[in-house]
Amino acid sequence: MPSPQQSSILPTYARSSLTFERGEGAWLVTAEGRRVLDFGAGIAVNALGHAHPHLVEALTSQAQKLWHLSNLYQNPDGERLAKRLTEATFADLVFFSNSGAEALEASIKMARKYHSANGQPERFRIITFEGAFHGRTLATIAAGGQKKYLEGFGPKVEGFDQVPFGDDEALKAAIGPETGAILIEPVQGEGGIRPVPTERLRALRQLCDERGMLLIFDEVQTGVGRTGKLFAYEWAGIAPDIMAVAKGIGGGFPMGACLATAEAAKGMTAGTHGTTFGGNPLAMAVGNAVLDVVLAPGFLEHVQQQGLLLKQRLAELKDRHPAVIADVRGQGLMIGIKTHIPNTELAKAAENEDLLLITAGDNVVRLLPPLVIAEAEVSAAIDRIDRACQTLEEEMRQPMKGAAE
Ligand SMILES: *Cc1c(COP(=O)(O)O)cnc(C)c1O
């Protein structure tokens, strides 16, 4: 492993020293044969785990035929995937991108263009929420509004007004004549697995309808089965006008999508937006293969069952380790453990037990396992978190020993 000084990769990430050679389902394997249980799934990306045979087959057989075409020609697999996504959701139309941030950029541009097409180009402002994360492009860091991501990158992109999470009065006060849309994650991911209550999502829908605003959901992390529904908005019984999707949709192949109603998309005519790679045949082949599995009967029920089991078992751990675990929250297989100690310490202790977890805001550690996990893997993860908590408690009892090491 190169030291940070030797690495030629731009040092924007503080990486773990772990180096993996291959993966099988929910497991990652190092060159030395160390097996690590992956409850991060590449940040909710490897929805079907590592090296899923159906995805491997889809990618390798497509790789023999055609890799890339651009969007200048017909795209039968893209047409098929878009049709399947629209049939399974509120949406009428799909734009394929390569990442979550690009799916958000398309969503933001679409909302602005909608009002422009309606003769109200001044309605370009979008309301977002504290603790949000929408990506790392200039517009999406402005939408996310987090100081640490904005600092030093020049003037913040104009047109995003942020309100505190869960403050209805502040939200209503922020709406002005230039407000065109509300953008929200149904469950904040990077913000610390903070679910938006169902009633609040419904209230947002109503507010948007009353004020002629578009409702945009960022389902980059919550989508494609993560919460136990194909998309998290289904839990609330309402639908957005525009939705950004990525992460799980490609099962590990870089891919995103912006889904929308025909009405919301009406400004997006030929030439208004584009991408060289988006909708690439390799991505479309894998995207269709992911949907084959996620839409199969019983799959989402499996996610719900494993999610409930995991949450129950974590609640037991919270009772056993009250000095470490403050709260367990989330939906489906998108679960957060809020810790009393720094969240990085629990994530590190879990890594020492060969379990990968991911930190998030609000001092939370995220569990985002592959959606295909079996009960045995839930149990294995629980045992490892249990041992990690024991180790942390022992260190708390002997603070000097920990400090001397
Ligand atoms: C990861 C994420 C993004 C950004 O996706 P990228 O593929 O990293 O650009 C946007 N929104 C949410 C909710 C995310 O979790």
pLDDT at 405 over 50: no
Taking residue 342's Cβ as centre, other Cβ atoms within 10 Å add up to: 11
pLDDT at 402 over 70: no
Q: What is the secondary structure of 116-151 as a DSSP string?
A: HHTT-TT--EEEEETT----SSHHHHHHH--HHHHT
Q: Check residue 398 and give its pLDDT.
A: 84
- Establish whether residue 248 lines the binding site of ligand 1, counting it when its CB lies within 6 angstroms of any ligand atom: no
N-to-C CA span, the chain: 23
Give me 357's structure tokens.
Answer: 């977890």
Q: Check residue 404 and give its pLDDT.
A: 47
263 falls within a domain: yes
Over residues 221-245, the pLDDT tens digits come to 999 999 999 999 999 999 999 999 9
Contacts 24+ apart (CB under 8 A), 294-299: 294/47, 294/48, 294/224, 294/225, 294/230, 294/371, 295/84, 295/88, 295/230, 299/225, 299/371
Structural domain that includes position 119? 53-294
381 falls within a domain: no
**CB within 8 A of 234, min separation 6: which ones?**
none
Distance (angstroms) between ligand 1 centre and the Cα of 94 equals: 18
19 falls within a domain: no
pLDDT at 4 over 80: no
- Establish whether residue 185 lines the binding site of ligand 1, counting it when its CB lies within 6 angstroms of any ligand atom: yes
Cβ contact 244:126 at 8 Å? no
386 falls within a domain: no
Rounded to an integer, the average pLDDT of 103-124 is 98
Distance separating alpha carbons of residues 376 and 221, to the nearest angstrom = 25
Return phi, psi of residue 368, to 5°: -130, 60
Kindly give the pairing relationship between strand 179-184 and strand 214-218: parallel
Residues paired with 14 in a beta bridge: none
Number of domains the chain contains? 1
- Establish whether residue 97 lines the binding site of ligand 1, counting it when its CB lies within 6 angstroms of any ligand atom: no
Q: What is the CATH number of the domain that holds 76?
A: 3.40.640.10
300 falls within a domain: no
Q: Residue 166 — very low, low, confident or very high, per pLDDT cuts 50/70/90?
A: confident
Rounded to an integer, the average pLDDT of 134-160 is 97
Considering the chain, what is the average pLDDT of its residues? 96
Give me 120's structure tokens.
Answer: 């109200």
Residues paired with 126 in a beta bridge: 160, 181
Distance (angstroms) between ligand 1 centre and the Cα of 138 equals: 13
- Establish whether residue 268 lines the binding site of ligand 1, counting it when its CB lies within 6 angstroms of any ligand atom: no
Give me 159's structure tokens.
Answer: 């047109």
Give me 294's structure tokens.
Answer: 């996620």
Distance (angstroms) between ligand 1 centre and the Cα of 133 equals: 7
Q: Which residue has the tokens 């697995």?
A: 193
Q: Residue 332 — very low, low, confident or very high, per pLDDT cuts 50/70/90?
A: very high
Kindly give the pairing relationship between strand 160-163 and strand 125-129: parallel
396 falls within a domain: no
Rounded to an integer, the average pLDDT of 160-184 is 96
Q: Which of 185, 245, 247 to mutate to test the pocket of ligand 1 (most atoms within 8 A of CB)?
A: 247
Over residues 10-66, the pLDDT tens digits come to 999 999 999 999 999 999 999 999 999 999 999 999 999 999 999 999 999 999 999
95 falls within a domain: yes
Q: What share of the chain is helix, strand, coil (3-state, %, to 5)?
A: 40, 20, 40
The ligand 1 atom nearest the CA atom of 104? 10
9-141-286-16 Cα dihedral, nearest 10 degrees:
40
Distance (angstroms) between ligand 1 centre and the Cα of 34 equals: 30
154 vs 399, higher pLDDT: 154
Nearest-CA neighbor of 354 among 330, 385, 326, 323?
A: 385
Distance (angstroms) between ligand 1 centre and the Cα of 145 equals: 14
pLDDT at 401 over 80: no
Distance (angstroms) between ligand 1 centre and the Cα of 40 equals: 14
184 falls within a domain: yes
Give me 8's structure tokens.
Answer: 């030629």
- Establish whether residue 100 lines the binding site of ligand 1, counting it when its CB lies within 6 angstroms of any ligand atom: yes
Give me 360's structure tokens.
Answer: 């998030």
